[in-house]
Chain A
């Protein structure tokens, strides 16, 4: 009797975990890919913009070099941000699994 309950409870929990993973992992992957794509597109766009300002004499060559390095530092900040947000997603997933376990145990105890 208790084996049956344990099996059905375990199955219930595993289904919910699978569902949570299914919902969470693609969103992390999409966000990381989008961030990478945006960074690459921004970098070429900004560099062209600064080069045109340099051609017009509004920026020096030193300024353009400085700004390009600034843009690379910004890329580092974005990479750190994306890593942190991915970890936060993992924590949310863990919280969701904990809630699922609590609710499954609650149902099993009451039934």
Chain B
């Protein structure tokens, strides 16, 4: 009788331990799951906001001949390339990187395309500059909204 009781107690203890082990494993599995998209990056956010301001300031001067602003445009393009590379280097950040590609494509019709057209035509008309700037601005806003909509984690400030 005593032996049966001891066995039963041991069994209960084993079940209790097994139960905890299973749930701790489950918890570890949940925590270890990689996120679907890169977490929010304060650095990416700041870079994009700065570039939006500078890009819009630069293309507003497209009434002037391209050559007059060539240095400024080249500096802007270097910073845009850095932002793209930063985005491309972050794991699970393909959607933001694709956004940068669309924005910067010289054969496209946003910032990259506008700078290419400015270079080709030397000057652009004020109405065209205004209308195209609205599209470029909306494009930057979209990139910014995606970044700020990402999950804020512990590494957000470090990235």
Contact = CB atoms under 8 A, between A and B. Distances in A.
Chain A binding surface SS class? helix
A64 to B, nearest CB: 9
Interface residues on B, range: 35 or more
A74 B35 CA distance: 27
Interface string A2-44: 1001100100000000000000000000000000000000000
Contacts, number: 122
Interface string B142-159: 110110011100000000
B111 to A, nearest CB: 10
Interface residues of A, number: 41
B151 A91 contact: yes
B151 A92 contact: yes
A40 to B, nearest CB: 15
Interface in B108-159: 108-110, 113, 117, 125, 127-128, 131-132, 135, 138-139, 142-143, 145-146, 149-151
B151 A88 contact: yes
Interface in A64-107: 66-67, 69-74, 76-78, 80-81, 83-85, 87-88, 90-92, 94-95, 97-98, 101-102, 105
Most buried by A among B96, B109, B110: B109
A70 B110 contact: yes
A59 B127 contact: yes
Nearest to B135: A70
A73 B109 contact: yes
A85 to B, nearest CB: 5
Contacts of A2: 12, 15-16, 19
A5 B145 CA distance: 44
Contacts of A63: 125, 127-128, 131
Given A74-B135, A97-B30, A105-B23, 17 more contacts: A5-B19, A58-B125, A60-B125, A63-B127, A70-B109, A73-B139, A74-B138, A77-B110, A80-B99, A80-B102, A81-B149, A84-B149, A85-B146, A88-B36, A88-B37, A94-B33, A101-B27
11 contacts: A1-B15, A60-B125, A63-B131, A66-B132, A67-B132, A69-B108, A73-B110, A83-B95, A88-B151, A92-B151, A95-B151
Interface of A: 1-2, 5-6, 9, 50, 53, 58-60, 63, 66-67, 69-74, 76-78, 80-81, 83-85, 87-88, 90-92, 94-95, 97-98, 101-102, 105, 108-109
